[in-house]
Chains A and B, each alone.
Chain A
Amino acid sequence: MSKISVSVVGASGFAGGELLRLLLFHPHVEIKQVTSERHYGKFVHKVHPNLRKICNLKFTGIGELEECDVLFLCLPHGEAQKQIDRFTSLAQRIIDLSGDFRLNDAQSYKRWYGHPHTRPELLSEFVYGIPELYRSKMSRARFVSSAGCNATATILALYPLYKEGIAQRNSTVTEVKVGSSEGGNKVSEASHHPIRHGCVRSFKPTGHRHLAEMEQELSFGESVTIHFSATSIEMVRGVLATSHVFLNRDLQEKDIWKIYRKYYGNEPFIRIVKERDGNYRYPEPKLVTGTNYCDIGFELDAQTGRLVVMSAIDNLMKGAAGQAVQAFNIMHGFAETTALEFPGLHPI
Chain B
Amino acid sequence: MNQNVTCPVCDAVFEVAENVELNELLTCPDCGSELEVVNLKPLEVAEAPQEEEDWGE
Q: In the bound complex, how far is the Cα of B38 from the Cα of A271, in angstroms?
A: 29
How far does the alpha carbon of A195 sit from the alpha carbon of B31 in the complex, in Å? Answer: 42
Residues of B near A253 (CB, < 8 A) are 9-10
- Residues B43-57 near A (CB distance < 8 A): 50-51
Q: Determine the distance from Cα of A38 to Cα of B8 in the docked complex, in whole angstroms.
A: 58
A267 → B minimal CB distance (Å): 14
Given contacts A257-B30, A257-B31, A261-B30, contact A276 B50 (CB under 8 A): yes
Task: Give every chain A residue within 8 A of B12 (Cβ-Cβ).
Answer: 257, 261
Report the bound CA distance from A278 to B53 in whole Å. Answer: 10
B10 CB, nearest partner CB in chain A, Å: 4
**How many A residues touch B, CB cutoff 8 Å?**
12
Distance, CA A236 to CA B8, complexed state (A): 39
When C-beta atoms are compared, the residue in chain A nearest to B33 turns out to be A276
CA distance A48 to B20 in the complex (A): 54
Q: Complex Cα distance A344/B20, Å?
A: 35
Whole-angstrom distance between the alpha carbons of A274 and B30 in the complex? 9
* Cβ-based interface call for B15 (8 A): no
* Size bracket, chain B contacts: 10 to 19
Q: How far is the CA of A257 from the CA of B32 in the complex (A)?
A: 12
Hey, which chain B residues are within 8 Å of A275, CB to CB?
31-33
**CB proximity of B22 to chain A, nearest CB, Å:** 22
Rounded to whole Å, the gap between the CB of A276 and the closest CB of chain B is: 6
Docked complex Cα distance between A223 and B35 (Å): 42
A186 at the binding interface (Cβ < 8 Å): no
B21 at interface (Cβ–Cβ under 8 A)?
no
Q: B16 to nearest A CB, angstroms?
A: 19
Is A250 in the interface zone, CB < 8 Å from B? no
Q: Is A254 part of the contact surface with B, judged by Cβ < 8 Å?
A: yes
Asked if A277 contacts B50 (CB within 8 A), the reply is yes
Q: Is the CB of B50 within 8 A of A254?
A: no
Q: Does A47 contact B (CB under 8 A)?
A: no
Q: Are B50 and A257 within 8 A (Cβ)?
A: no
Contacts of B34 in A (CB 8 A): 276-277
A272: chain B residues within 8 A (beta carbon): 30-31
Q: How far is the CB of B5 from chain A (nearest CB, A)?
A: 14
Q: For the complex, is A258 an interface residue (Cβ under 8 Å from B)? A: yes
Contacts of B10 in A (CB 8 A): 253-254, 257-258, 261
B11 on the A face (CB < 8 A): yes
Question: With the chains together, A276 CA to B50 CA distance in Å?
Answer: 8
What residues on B are CB-neighbors of A278 within 8 Å?
32
- Residue among A254, A272, A278 having the largest count of chain B Cβ atoms under 10 Å: A254
Complex formed: what's the CA distance from A272 to B31 in Å?
Answer: 8
A300-344 to B contact mask, C-beta < 8 Å, 1/0? 000000000000000000000000000000000000000000000
- Distance A4 CA – B40 CA, assembled complex (angstroms): 57
Q: Which residues of B contact A258 (CB under 8 A)?
A: 10-11
**Digit string of A247-278 for contact with B (CB within 8 Å is 1, else 0)?**
00000011101100100000000001011111
Query: Which chain B residues lie closer than 8 Å to A261 at the CB level?
Result: 10, 12, 30
Beta-carbon nearest neighbor of A274 in chain B: B31
Closest to B6 in A: A254
Complex Cα spacing A261 to B29, Å: 13
Q: Closest chain B residue to A257 by CB distance?
A: B10
Distance in angstroms from A264 CB to nearest chain B CB is 11
Q: Which residues of B contact A276 (CB under 8 A)?
A: 32-34, 50
A and B contact pairs by CB, cutoff 8 A, 5 listed: A254-B11, A257-B11, A257-B31, A275-B32, A276-B33
On B, residues with C-beta under 8 Å from A are: 8-12, 30-34, 50-51
